Amino acid sequence: RSEDEQTEDYLFKIVLIGDSAVGKSNLLARFARDEFYPNSKSTIGVEFQTQKMDINGKEVKAQIWDTAGQERFRAVTSAYYRGAVGALLVYDISRRQTFDSVGRWLNELHTHSDMNVVTILVGNKSDLKDAREVTVAEAKALAEAQGLFFMETSALDSSNVVAAFRTVVEEIYRILS
């Protein structure tokens, strides 16, 4: 069949959550546009960005939602979560405080969306090795206890960025197909 006859079979809404300045917008910029902003402000946040992915030969569209900085005021609304089937819960490995917030974000996620939303815990800024405040072991333990996938990423050097998004999308696909 021809290109334009090909239907889009899957559209998955995925939300980025986590404390301010952990790198959510840059993870999305790196994933969707292969860009990085060294001094990004919350203004670079788009409402959402749609990324086509090939999963098992099927075209899957990941509609990835980013905050416009409202997480700073703990004012992420229920509309943001509505219909989400996946989530990347991001903390900054160089700021312990952002890891301590993970439980609160999980509560919020489960309050506003389905309990079964596929979630990956993402320790971003893995390039900042010398400033590390959260070990891989404790993050893994938390992820295991909460039934989350886990990966460390760097939006700066690109490591694991595609893998983190793919992990969520592949699992959603596996569940729904």
> CB of residue 37 vs ligand GDP: minimum separation in angstroms?
5
Query: Which of 38, 57 has the CB closer to ligand GDP?
Result: 38
Distance in angstroms (rounded) separating the CA atoms of residues 24 and 108: 17
Per CB under 6 A, 167 contacts ligand GDP = no
Q: Which of 28, 12, 105 is nearest to 66 (CA)?
A: 28
Going 138 to 140 to 146 to 148, the CA torsion angle's sign is positive
Residue among 32, 128, 136, 162 that touches ligand GDP (CB under 6 A): 128
Residue among 11, 37, 59, 176 that touches ligand GDP (CB under 6 A): 37
Query: Which of 55, 94 has the CB closer to ligand GDP?
Result: 94
- Give 162's contacts (C-beta < 8 A, 6+ positions apart): 31
Name the segment binding ligand GDP (CB under 6 A); options: 46-54, 109-117, 119-127, 135-143: 119-127
> CB of residue 80 vs ligand GDP: minimum separation in angstroms?
14
Per CB under 6 A, 38 contacts ligand GDP = yes
Where do contacts with Mg ion occur on this chain (CB under 5 A)? Answer: 24-25, 45
Q: Which amino acid is at 4?
A: D
Residue among 14, 22, 62, 142 that touches ligand GDP (CB under 6 A): 22
Query: Which of 28, 62 has the CB closer to ligand GDP?
Result: 28
* From the list Mg ion, ligand GDP, none, partner contacted by residue 127 (C-beta under 5 to 8 A by kind): ligand GDP
